[in-house]
C-alpha cells in the first residue's frame, strides 16, 4: 500500500494580499477595539455622574496628548467599522462583487473613515 501525500490547504503565503483582505481584517480589529474602548466612554460617564475632581481628572487624562491620540484612534475605528459594516451590507444585498467594485468599495471605506474622522476632529475638537 502506497501512501500519497495529503493535499494541504492554501495559506497566507499562497494568496496575494488585497485591499479587501486588509479591510476585512481591520474591520475585525476595529470591532474588538471598539468593544474595549467602550470602557473609556463608561469611565467618562461615571466620572461625569460623580462630578468634581474625578470628572476633572478624567477630562485632564483625555485632554492630554496621549488621551487625544487614543480618542482620535477611537474616532477613526468607529468610522472604519461603520463603513466596513456598510460594505458588508452592500455585499449581503448581492451587490458589489465585481472585481472593480469590490476594490472601490474597500478603498471608499478607508477614504470615508479618514475623511469623516478628520472632519469630526476639525469641527468639534480643533475649531470648536
Check: CB of residue 91 under 8 Å from CB of residue 8: no
How far, in Å, CA of 33 to CA of 20, rounded? 20
Q: Kindly list the distances between the CA atom of residue 85 and the CA atoms of 17, 27, 71, 97, 105, in Å, as whole numbers in the listed order.
A: 21, 8, 21, 15, 11
11 among the known binding-site residues?
no
Q: What was the pLDDT predicted at 55?
A: 96
90's enclosing H/E stretch is helix 65-92
Q: What was the pLDDT predicted at 5?
A: 79
How far, in Å, CA of 84 to CA of 33, rounded? 14
Q: What was the pLDDT predicted at 1?
A: 65
Q: Which residue has the cell 463608561?
A: 42
Q: Kindly list the distances between the CA atom of residue 122 and the CA atoms of 65, 100, 113, 125, in Å, as whole numbers in the listed order.
A: 16, 32, 14, 6
Q: What was the pLDDT predicted at 12?
A: 62
Q: Give residue limits of the domains in the chain.
A: 21-127
Q: What was the pLDDT predicted at 14?
A: 72
Joined together, the cell numbers standing for residue 8 give 494541504
Q: What was the pLDDT predicted at 115?
A: 98
77: phi then psi, degrees, rounded to nearest 5? -60, -40
The CATH class of the 21-127 domain is mainly alpha
pLDDT, one tens digit for every residue, the chain (128 residues):
677 777 677 766 677 888 999 999 999 999 999 999 999 999 999 999 999 999 999 999 999 999 999 999 999 999 999 999 999 999 999 999 998 999 999 999 999 999 999 999 999 998 97
Amino acid at each position: 500500500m502506497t501512501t500519497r501525500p495529503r493535499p494541504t490547504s492554501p495559506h497566507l503565503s499562497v494568496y496575494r494580499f488585497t485591499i479587501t483582505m486588509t479591510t476585512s481584517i481591520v474591520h475585525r480589529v476595529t470591532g474588538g477595539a471598539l468593544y474595549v474602548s467602550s470602557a473609556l466612554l463608561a469611565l467618562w460617564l461615571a466620572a461625569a455622574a460623580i462630578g468634581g475632581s474625578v470628572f476633572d481628572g478624567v477630562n485632564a487624562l483625555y485632554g492630554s496628548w496621549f488621551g487625544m491620540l487614543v480618542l482620535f484612534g477611537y474616532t477613526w475605528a468607529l468610522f472604519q467599522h461603520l463603513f466596513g459594516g456598510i460594505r458588508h451590507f452592500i455585499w449581503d444585498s448581492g451587490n458589489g462583487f465585481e472585481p472593480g467594485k469590490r476594490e472601490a468599495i474597500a478603498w471608499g471605506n478607508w477614504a470615508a473613515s479618514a475623511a469623516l474622522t478628520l472632519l469630526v476632529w476639525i469641527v468639534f475638537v480643533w475649531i470648536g
